[in-house]
A and B are shown apart, each in its own frame.
Chain A
Amino acid sequence: MTVAAEVISRSEIIKEFRRSKSGLAGVVILFGLIMVTIYAVAAIPLESFGQWNNPNFWIDLPKAAAPAWTNLLGSKVPEHIVLTAKDAAVSSSVDGGIRTVTHSYTVNFNYDSYPSDFMLLYSARYGGTQPILQIDVLRPDGNEFQIYFASLPSSQQGSNEFSARVFSTDRQIANNLRNYAGIFEYPQDTSRPHVMIFSDSQQNRVLKGTYVIRETFYFFDPGDSAVNSGVILGGKVYGLMGTDELRRDLAVGILWGAPVALFIGLTVSIAGIIIGLVYGVVAGYKGKRTDEGLMRINDVFYSLPTLPLLVILSVTIGRSIFLITGFLVIFGWVGMAKISRSLALQLKNMQYVEAAKLMGQSDTKIIFKHIIPQLIPLTFASIAIAVPGAILGEAALSFLGLGDPSIPTWGQILHDANSAGAAPRGLWWWIVPPGLMIAITGLAFVLIGNALDAIVNPRSRKV
């Protein structure tokens, strides 16, 4: 059985590939991943992707919230509620030189559990005299809690705009709530305002109904004004895929991870396989000393421990995504070099190669025009098979905390999940999707690669 007899035409490969169910399944998955990529690029602004590691960018989102669709399955936990100045009912009055501006927000809170926290945003423009901000909550049972009363910081220049947010963990809120502890029939913890404010006064459960949250500004100068306000009730569910401990929207990271993983996987495997192909063919064709020398170098690379060296490389040289891709290529060509060498050994004794040699063609020309084209189908199969290794390699590196800090990858999301203890804390939406994406991407290429390999590789055809 000669190799030449096994070389089959392109149309034959496509025809046989169509018959392979697993190969087609791989193509379908790959197509899905490409759709995800297109969706990510089109629908998710590049800005939110670049700001992945900037905590300020994500501050309006809830902390460690489950995906929103989990509400369909079990008890109704609070959704994330964001109210901006547009939703506020604004009223103002003047009383003896003091101007009062009130922004009141109406929230319908009909969930089975408490919000995870809340934030009150405000922004005011004022001059020399500092205005006072007062925040009240009118509960469905008629009780009214004054939770915050403080003057804004003094302005530096003549007139400036000051914006800040009051967090539910603010000590003043806890202090003020102490005044209302008597309303409850059972002990309440004032250091957990998000629970106390939304609790029933008789029984230890959520008080459902309509809440009114009022932000009242007291201005003492005629030129002062309230610019903006807002209320954020931290939900326990958010969006398609939930959020992580640092309030990041996991959907952004996971969807954007697809193009990154495809880039790494394909670049590494294509570069590695082509280098290995040329290297092996040169070794096999030239033979003798060249072969011996090149194969010894190959042995050295084969015996190097991959992950430890990858770790050392990224610790000392750098962590940019392009560098990591380069490091993976360093270890990606070794296997292909061995395979292509053994095939080149067979091909170089073919009559047409010897004829070309007798005609005086240069070695370079013979290698690139007569030998390598014969191995192209095998190359495609090898590229597809090599992709999962590259993706897993990058994921492992990112998982160890050595990934590119400016780009979210699936491995990095899992690294964050692991260091935040997501598994022991039960935050499954932080663990399952990224790993599943890694596995699915790898699976797609393995399926395609195996199907191609079964068609083009003379060794696996036999079985």
Chain B
Amino acid sequence: MVIVLFATLVLTIALLGPTMDRILLEAIRFYVVEQVNQSDIRFANAAERQRYIDGQIELQVKTIGLDEPWYAPKRFTNTVLKVMVLDLGKSNYLTSETGSANVRDIILEKMPKTILLFTTSTLIVTVIGLYLGAFVANRAGSVWDRLNSSFAVFSGSFPTWWVGMLMIFVFAFTYHIFPARATPLTPPSDPAYALDLLYHMLLPLITIVLVAFGSWAYIVRYFVVGILGEDYIAAKRAAGVPENRILYSHALKNAAPPIVTVIALSLASSFGGAITVEAVFGWPGMGSLYYQAIGFLDIPIIIGLTYISTVIFIITVFLTDIIYAYFDPRVKVA
């Protein structure tokens, strides 16, 4: 687990290190020249001025250790350790709503909104998927089953963000039911903010659910059909246990372990999808932040978000293993 985190971090820093150094160097140069221009220091000629500026730049570069390359052991360990303890530094351009440039503050401000949107949608999708999946599994081969399978294949081929654009076109442009941008207009301090946020959340929520629930039902169906063929189900049927009870409490429960795994993994990896979906709707979460950070090349934020999303993913994978063991007694927690 720690190895994976470390690998991601090293990879991210290795990829972004040179660019970050270049940006820092340019910022220092700009800052020094600006300072000299505004100060009262008089120079005899242009050469002396240039010398002074160069001296100042070198001084600053030495102070923050930019004279060594990013992969120098000292700097590298420093960066890795800092990120590992969530000291993510300051952003270059973007700030939080309260005006803080601290990357941790910015991310913590956006995180609840991403979690709100994607946890809610995953929950809805899971409930629909479980019941629809079990329903069609019991009628394998029927019209419903075939309809669901083809819907799953179709919806699985659609990019969610594209469906999002279509939804905006239909529900914001043609019928003015939902707002086109998902960023609420009321300030966060207003008591109506929560309500406004929910209203703005509806369109992205509907989009995600619409695209995802077909594939979900299909996955559930796959596992439940397998369980329904088992002997003990036939025994229950023979014993006269009601069909619905067999389906929803016995079959579904036994199909739970693999389903739980898939749910957890999809929830954890939804951050990748969050980038595009939030960018389409302008939902003010981590994905939008990532999208903006790409636009501004705000590297501390990119590193911070990549790190945090990896942490979330890995923790989820770990928890899933534990939950799996709980549901499936055959697996022992080592």
Contact = CB atoms under 8 A, between A and B. Distances in A.
Contact of A305 (B15, B168, B272, B291): B272
A439 B158 contact: yes
Interface stretch (A55-63, A79-87, A116-124, A392-400): A392-400
Contacts, number: 146
Contact of A300 (B7, B18, B165): B7
A400 B154 CA distance: 24
Interface residues of B, number: 52
Contacts of B280: 418
Contact of B302 (A304, A312, A414, A435): A312
Contacts of A422: 165, 169
Contacts of A440: 157
Interface string B299-320: 0001001100110011001000
Contacts of A425: 173
Given A395-B159, A446-B153, A463-B225, A414 B297 contact: no
A401 B294 contact: yes
A67 to B, nearest CB: 16
B3 interface: yes
Chain A contact residues: helix, strand, loop or mixed: helix
B305 A308 contact: yes
Contacts of A428: 169
Given A306-B272, A308-B275, A423-B180, A388 B157 contact: yes
A396 B276 contact: yes
B180 A304 contact: no
B3 A300 contact: yes
Interface string A397-430: 0011110000000000010011000111110100
In which size bucket is the chain A interface?
35 or more
B266 to A, nearest CB: 13
B199 to A, nearest CB: 17
Nearest to A392: B159
5 contacts: A304-B8, A308-B309, A414-B165, A423-B166, A439-B162
Interface of A: 22, 296, 299-300, 303-309, 311-313, 315-317, 388, 392, 395-396, 399-402, 414, 417-418, 422-426, 428, 431-432, 434-435, 438-440, 442-443, 446-447, 450, 462-463
Interface of B: 3-4, 7-8, 11-12, 15-16, 18-19, 150, 153-154, 156-159, 161-163, 165-166, 168-169, 172-174, 180, 222, 225-226, 269, 271-273, 275-276, 279-280, 290-291, 294-295, 297, 302, 305-306, 309-310, 313-314, 317
